[in-house]
């Protein structure tokens, strides 16, 4: 694993836990954790049981005793590490967003085609989101009319504190668009299919910051629905509010990451006087992953989204299949982000060449 | 109308409005408003268009040009006015609770048998509550296991302010029990049938106050279910929180007066993975009273509970039937309150002679 | 009053009720109700006590015994009636949207300058919305970053039923934009000030319909904030969901018309560990209109938004002031709707000449 | 560890995870898992990495290479195992409820005094509950008036399925009272102090079952407050709904296990027009355990309640202190359960000898 930050912690946890909840043919050995800060390295290694530490990722990614390289570093480093690892024949697991630009992402994809890979769009593998996908696939929503997504946090509101790599173009590529909107786009492509055109605003509130604090867009989807997206680091009052809503001819669906064990559903085919927004606890029985974790009514947390993503990867790896958060899907997100940037810069609508995303079911 | 307080305002409004929302064969003329304070009288008469004012109810209740006497005064005055009015052959509309004691209530009932009457248990005629009754009657709940009721406000928390007649035994008879619990009991008898036995706590927090600030009870119902009730004026944080919950073999129902246009429903006969608490907006279509008021999705307020109660009375009066908030039901509430008082005093279980309440459907 | 539909019912109710809740120097006499359908006319007149009926508005608006003309008919008729009434020197009360186009609205405004007028943007006078305005004016929100508005209903989802004048350009001028978005724009101008530029989608789902079923936009406000708006008749699952959210440097505000007695507020200046979205019941004490209606904790309904609007008009009329939902504000809404139409047609950003709206405080 | 069921899974997870989230001086080695079913044993051992399996707990609890015995078996086995382990000088971790009766619990306590111990009342160590305790300790609630607790699940509603040891007196001792009410009592003693007297209903809905399906009680606390408790396996519609509410002179607090990352708080000392129930996400910053887990806004799940309980134990063990879910607290819960049983049987109030519980802060 390359990286020692908070996401690296979530990854380490997933490596430790996946075998406890998924029956995988693979056992993960935590070999080397790689970072620049010796103190953080030592602490992370001790806490999670990494066998070795290293400060030079170049010296690690090609080691013959390493099968997988996990990338949990600032966005600008994804490409060099992923490409080097793929060329060395390693399985690559990479944080989202895949890249800092579409061109870079396409270059990575080319290099990574020959190895199994996973991009950590973990919110796609939340039980409630997978259950939403199931309801959609079963036709419970009917024709989709509207898709509505927000991802609001307040991390940028204090410019004196918002000073990490996430607020610098050279390291992050994008601001809220890469950090937050990418997740919303990934969910949308997964649940609602391709976007065909969009128009966007990209806005920076803080003086001197060279990435977007907020990105908003209107979009048209290939399935005929229309959508709005809003991602911001100035959503004061919200710490991690990622929502999505779908209105279809037969039903409404709503999901909010802050209450990630729940899915709201209104079945518009029921008698009109009994319709109401139904709050379903997606903790079983007969829900995605409900046999993996706890008894119905006993919730899971943030970290489980990494465990399910990894569990799926390991299960499908065995069958030579790609799992859900795959490379193609991640490139597709980049393609939309690229269109967003172009639209915001040109103040005009931008068309995308549609491709049906989210293929694995 | 006898009374000029805040409830009298709600009654006046209902008199003015009922004809606008219900097609009634009767037209209400606002003849005389009666009270002790000349200034309040003049103001109320002007505001609501009462033709005359009077300070002496005895001189009014027998007037030949009066058909109905409405009683909106402290509880201790209900009996003398109602009995006098009934003896004069007037229709009697009386605020809840009917009386300050069971004996008094039974005396009133005896006197009032010969005239049509209405006791203002208005929360029984909320569309969502009537819809709950309909679902129960249709068997949607199955066997009832639990009934759970609270009525919480914070009116007593500042003893320096809580100084009206409602805090004095001589005028109110009871405290939270008469004011709040009576509504909860009425709803329970209506929705869940008779109570067969109960054990209660009656508690006064404020020094020197001679009525209960809070009354709590456990109860057994004739239908085999068991229940809890809590009514308090020390429910800090709540202004008018009247809730009821029912768990049955086939469904759960929940209602909260603070969101009185909504009814929560969980249908336990649906596939387990699609069960969820459904929040139904009981504003139509095909809901009780939904043709009387506004279009679906457009809510009604507190005052409409009086209008529906009165609308029902006027509709059934025509057919020589009793309507919902009838005299027998009100006496039944007194019987339970009486058992509550005896149980609290004796610190023991008290049995009630069951009688199936809530007869009108 | 010209009109006999469901809005006319709400107006009639307001006329009957305003004097009961506002101390107005004026008494409203219900003289003539005017419509084309004799049966509906007779029924409405009987139900609300209109003294006369008429089928010819031209013959009514100039009558010397008439002081006020209230317009509750399809949008395309607003202009001829309002202009005729204004020319006859009558006070004009007109349903929203003011007009079917900006030019028409400006023409109306010119004709109506000399008479007092009221445009029924009633959702501006909801206690919770006025309280939000108060908090904003007091600086509790700080610098506004985001404004987010939706107005979702499902009225268009069944094309076989959606056949009234609201679905025809000749009578309505616009679809969801005029019906729903106009309310959202009015609220935004009132709470967040002028919009300086916008880009919009206008979409029709139903074949053969010549008005928009849904209109979405991104906007920039004069105060530096950015916003999204979505109005649709295909918001399946929602009957009357009008929401607004504001994120500012010091607080978040949220309002939902379906729970119109509540205002959600998060104060970001409190200690971080005690911040939370606070659900305030805007029913008193010390809330807008809380002395006009019922005791704290006792909610009001849809119709009261008309009563407050009218109550304010009558109060300020006395002082020769304009009240909140005034002519200028209504023209400003038309100006934004016009920009929306032009943007949607040209698929490009459209600038508006800013003017600070919502002047009366 | 003795036991292989679903609770044993939660314990195993806590053993594996505590070192990842708490800086403990102790490292836990998973030595032996003990159970009767060979297949389950092998599976659990493989999944969680237990070094050995055994079918005979007697042969294990005294082994010199064992430091801790964890008990995750039916209630009736707690006493023999705990006593044997304590006599062998082992640290004892025991599932709740401690015992099947007060006498048994007192016997266990006597035997276990000499060794460190932990009773798994894990819901006491939820961040939101610990934060509630902090607010109470800081005087934010003022004088407590009401304590209100429910614990509702629907496990008993299908008697054909409800056939495990939890439904048999010989193995469980009690039904809903031991399983659910014990948690509610533990929370109450922790947050609100000792109960001085109570009156209870114990009810069995299913024919032939010899434990309670539901237990309800009214209680008086030493601090002058009054309370209601309801625990049931017939709370249809609820899978794991454990709630608690407190009304005090200065504030209201509400907690619901189904949304365990949240705490609802209303501060009644704020200006009346700004009071509202505040929904606090107790995920940091400056919340209990917020440095142990994820970033603010990223929730934890059911299993973390075991991790925090164990983390606290290991931290305090080092300092020769007892941690929160200690033996005395567990005996205190038994004392209340015993009073509940006696009250239900005798249909009368039962007094408890008060002792201030929840000592560790």
pLDDT at position D264 over 90: yes
Q: Hey, is the C-beta of B276 within 8 angstroms of any chain A C-beta?
A: yes
Question: What gap in Å lies between CA A180 and CA A230, rounded to an integer?
Answer: 9
Q: Which residues of B touch C16 (CB under 8 A)?
A: 16-17, 20
Mapping DSSP onto H, E and C, the string for chain D reads CECCCHHHHHHHHHHHHHHHHCCCCCCCCCCEEECCCHHHHHHHHHHHCCCEEECCHHHCCCCCCCCEEEECCCHHHHHHHHHHHHHCCCEEEECCCCCCCHHHHHHHHHHHCCCCEEECCHHHHCHHHHHHHHHHHCCCCCCEEEEEEEEECCCCCCCCCCCCHHHCHHHHCCCHHHHHHHHHHHHHHHHHCCEEEEEEEEECCCCCCCCCCEEEEEEEECCCCEEEEEEECCCCCCCCEEEEEEEECCEEEEEEHHHCCEEEEEECCCCHHHCCEEEEECCCCCCCCCCCCCCCCCCCCCCHHHHHHHHHHHHHHCCCCCCCCCHHHHHHHHHHHHHHHHHHHHCECEECCCCCCCCCC
**Coil, strand or helix: which one is C128?**
helix
A134 CB within 8 Å of a chain B CB = no
The total number of residues shown for chain D amounts to 361
Name the token pair of B211: 């009525």
- Structure confidence at residue A323 (pLDDT): 77
Between A59-63, B158-162, C67-71, the lowest mean confidence (pLDDT) is in B158-162
- Give pLDDT, residue C161: 85
Residue C203 phi, psi dihedral angles, 5° rounding:
-135, 140
Per-residue buried b or exposed e for A61-93, using 16+ beta carbons within 10 Å of the residue's own CB: beeeebebbbbbbbbbbbbbbbbbbbebebbbb
Separation CA D72–CA D78 (nearest Å): 8
pTM value > 0.80? yes
Q: Taking CB atoms and an 8 Å limit, are C281 and B258 in contact across chains?
A: yes
Closest CA to D295 of A214, A3, A240: A240
Rg (CA), chain B: 20
Q: Band of the pLDDT at C320, cuts 50, 70, 90?
A: confident
B244-255: b (≥16 Cβ within 10 Å) or e? bbbbbbbbbbbb
pLDDT at residue D159 in the model = 86
Assess B255–A contact: CB distance below 8 Å, yes or no.
no
Instruction: Decide if B278 touches A, using CB distance below 8 A.
Output: yes
Chain D environment of C130 (Cβ under 8 Å): none
Q: Do B274 and A281 touch (CB under 8 A)?
A: no
CB contact under 8 A, B294 and C283: no
Q: What share of chain B is helix, strand, coil (3-state, %, to 5)?
A: 35, 20, 40
pLDDT reading at B91 higher than 60: yes
Partner residue opposite C276 with nearest CB, options D272, D273, D281: D281
Tokens of D7: 């609770």
B-chain CB neighbours of A274 within 8 Å are 265, 278, 280
**pLDDT per position as a tens digit, D141-153:** 999 999 999 999 9
Question: Does D285 reach chain C within 8 Å, measured CB to CB?
Answer: yes
CA distance B201 to chain C (A): 26
pLDDT at D358 > cutoff 60: no
Nearest to D295 among A6, A299, A301 (CB): A6
Query: What pLDDT band is residue A161 in, cutting at 50, 70 and 90?
Result: confident
A308 reaches D (C-beta below 8 A) = no
Of B274, B276, B285, the CB nearest to A273: B285
Residues of chain C with Cβ-Cβ distance to D264 below 8 Å are 276
Put simply, the answer to whether C303 touches B295 (Cβ < 8 Å) is no
- Do residues D190 and D329 touch, judged by C-beta distance below 8 A? yes
Between CA B354 and CA D236 the distance in angstroms is 26
Distance of CA C174 to the CA centre of its chain: 15
Structure tokens, B57:
């109810």
Give the torsion through C-alpha atoms of D10, D16, D19, D24, to 10 deg: 80
The chains found to touch B (3+ Cβ pairs under 8 angstroms) are A, C, D
Q: Do the chains contact at B276 and A279, CB–CB below 8 Å?
A: yes
Quick check: B108 pLDDT over 70?
Answer: yes
Chain-chain contact of B205 with D145 (C-beta, under 8 angstroms): yes
| Contact between chains at A271 and B284 (C-beta distance less than 8 A) | no
Residue C105: is its pLDDT beyond 80? yes
The mean predicted confidence, pLDDT, of chain D is 95
Q: How many CB pairs under 8 A join A and B?
A: 50
Measure in Å the smallest separation between the Cα of B280 and chain D Cα atoms: 16
Minimal CA separation from D265 to chain C, in Å? 9
Q: What is the structure's pLDDT at C33?
A: 98
Reported confidence tier of residue D354, pLDDT bands at 50, 70, 90: low
Whether chain D has a CB inside 8 Å of the CB on B5: the answer is no
CA C88 to chain centre: 25
Distance from C-alpha of D290 to C-alpha of B60, rounded to nearest angstrom: 69
pLDDT band for position B324 (cuts 50, 70, 90) = confident
Q: How far A66 CA lies from chain B's nearest CA (Å)? A: 42
To the nearest 10 degrees (0 to 180), the angle between helices B38-48 and B6-21 is 20
Name residues whose C-beta falls within 8 Å of residue C30's C-beta, 6 or more positions apart in sequence.
Answer: C1, C12, C15, C16, C48, C49, C50, C51
Mean of pLDDT values over C276-296: 97
* CA-based nearest distance B131→chain A, Å: 9
Chain C interface includes A212 (CB < 8 A): no
Give pLDDT, residue D355.
56
Interface of B with D in 64-93 (CB under 8 A): none
Q: What's the pLDDT score for residue A356?
A: 41
Rg (CA), chain D: 20
Let me know: does C249 contact C170? Beta carbons within 8 Å: no
Q: pLDDT, tens digit, for every residue of B41-63? A: 999 999 999 999 999 999 999 99
B-to-D residue pairs, Cβ atoms closer than 8 angstroms: 118
Residues of C in contact with D131 (CB under 8 A): 273
Q: What is the DSSP letter of B179?
A: I
Calpha distance C253→C225 (Å, rounded): 14
- Looking at CA atoms only, how far is residue D291 from chain C in angstroms? 13
- Chain D hits for A16, CB-CB cut-off 8 Å, are 16-17, 20
* Chain C contact for B154 (CB, 8 A cutoff): no
Tell me which of C160, C205, C236 to substitute to probe the interface with A (most A C-beta atoms closer than 10 Å).
Answer: C236
B69 and B98 in contact (C-beta within 8 Å)? no
> Residue B64, Cβ neighbours under 10 Å: how many?
7
Among the partner-chain residues D264, D276, D286, the one whose CB lies closest to the CB of C280 is D276
Q: What is the arithmetic mean of pLDDT over B70-79?
A: 98
CB contact residues (below 8 A), chain D span 23-52, against chain A: 47-48
Confidence of residue A355 (pLDDT cuts 50, 70, 90): low
CB D8 within 8 A of CB D14: no
D280: contact with C, CB 8 A cutoff: yes
| CB-CB under 8 Å, A349 with C266 | no
Task: Write the pLDDT tens digit of every residue in B293-318.
Answer: 999 999 999 999 999 999 999 999 87
pLDDT at B354: 53
- Is any Cβ of chain C less than 8 angstroms from the Cβ of D268? no
Task: Give percent of chain D with pLDDT exceeding 90.
Answer: 92
Nearest CA in chain B to A263: B276
Please report residues of D whose CB lies closer than 8 A to that of C276: 263-265, 278-281
Grade residue B338 by pLDDT with cuts at 50, 70 and 90.
very high
Contact C283 B17 (CB under 8 A): no
8 Å CB contact of B230 and D146:
yes
Is the pLDDT assigned to residue D361 strictly greater than 50?
no
Instruction: Enumerate residues 235 to 254 of chain B having a beta carbon within 8 A of any beta carbon in chain D.
Output: 235-238, 247-252
What are the C-alpha distances in Å from B301 to residues B257, C75, C305, D152? Answer: 10, 29, 12, 32
Task: Tell me which chains share at least 3 CB pairs under 8 Å with chain A.
Answer: B, C, D
**Closest CA of chain D from A241, distance in Å:** 8
Q: Considering chain B, what percentage of its residues have pLDDT values greater than 90?
A: 92
> Which residues lie across from A68 on neighbouring strands?
A91
Q: How far is B361 from chain D (nearest CA, A)?
A: 26
D284 touches chain C (CB under 8 A): yes
pLDDT one-digit tens code per residue, D27-53:
899 999 999 999 999 999 999 999 999
């Amino acid at each position: 694993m390359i990286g020692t930050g908070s996401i690296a912690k979530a990854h380490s946890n997933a490596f430790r836990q996946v075998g406890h909840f998924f029956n995988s043919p693979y056992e993960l050995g935590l070999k080397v954790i790689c970072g620049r800060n010796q103190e953080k390295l030592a602490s992370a290694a001790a806490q999670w049981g990494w066998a070795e530490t290293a400060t030079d990722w170049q010296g690690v990614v090609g080691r013959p005793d390493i099968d997988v390289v996990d990338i949990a570093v600032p966005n600008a480093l994804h490409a060099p590490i992923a490409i080097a690892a793929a060329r060395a024949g390693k399985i690559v697991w990479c944080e989202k967003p895949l890249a800092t630009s579409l061109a870079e992402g396409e270059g990575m994809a080319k290099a990574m085609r020959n190895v199994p890979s996973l991009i950590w769009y973990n919110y796609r593998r939340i039980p409630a989101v997978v259950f939403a996908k199931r309801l959609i696939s079963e036709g419970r929503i009917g024709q989709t009319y509207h898709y509505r997504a927000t991802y609001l946090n307040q991390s940028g509101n204090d410019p004196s504190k918002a000073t990490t790599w996430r607020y610098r173009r050279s390291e992050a590529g994008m601001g809220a668009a890469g950090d937050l909107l990418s997740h919303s786009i990934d969910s949308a492509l997964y649940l609602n299919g391709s976007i065909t055109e969009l128009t966007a605003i990209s806005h920076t509130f803080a003086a001197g910051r060279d990435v977007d604090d907020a990105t908003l867009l209107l979009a048209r989807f290939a399935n005929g629905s229309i959508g709005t997206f809003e991602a911001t680091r100035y959503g004061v009052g919200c710490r991690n509010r990622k929502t999505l809503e779908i209105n279809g001819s037969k039903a409404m669906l709503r999901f909010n990451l802050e209450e990630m064990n729940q899915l709201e559903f209104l079945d518009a085919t029921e008698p009109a006087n009994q319709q109401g927004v139904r709050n379903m606890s997606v903790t079983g029985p007969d829900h995605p992953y409900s046999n993996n974790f706890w008894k119905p009514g006993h919730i899971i947390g943030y970290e489980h989204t990494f465990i399910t993503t990894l569990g799926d990867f390991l299960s499908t790896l065995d069958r030579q299949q790609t799992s859900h958060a795959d490379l193609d899907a991640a490139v597709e997100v980049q393609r939309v982000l690229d269109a967003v940037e172009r639209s915001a810069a040109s103040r005009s609508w931008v068309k995308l060449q549609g491709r049906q995303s989210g293929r694995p079911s």
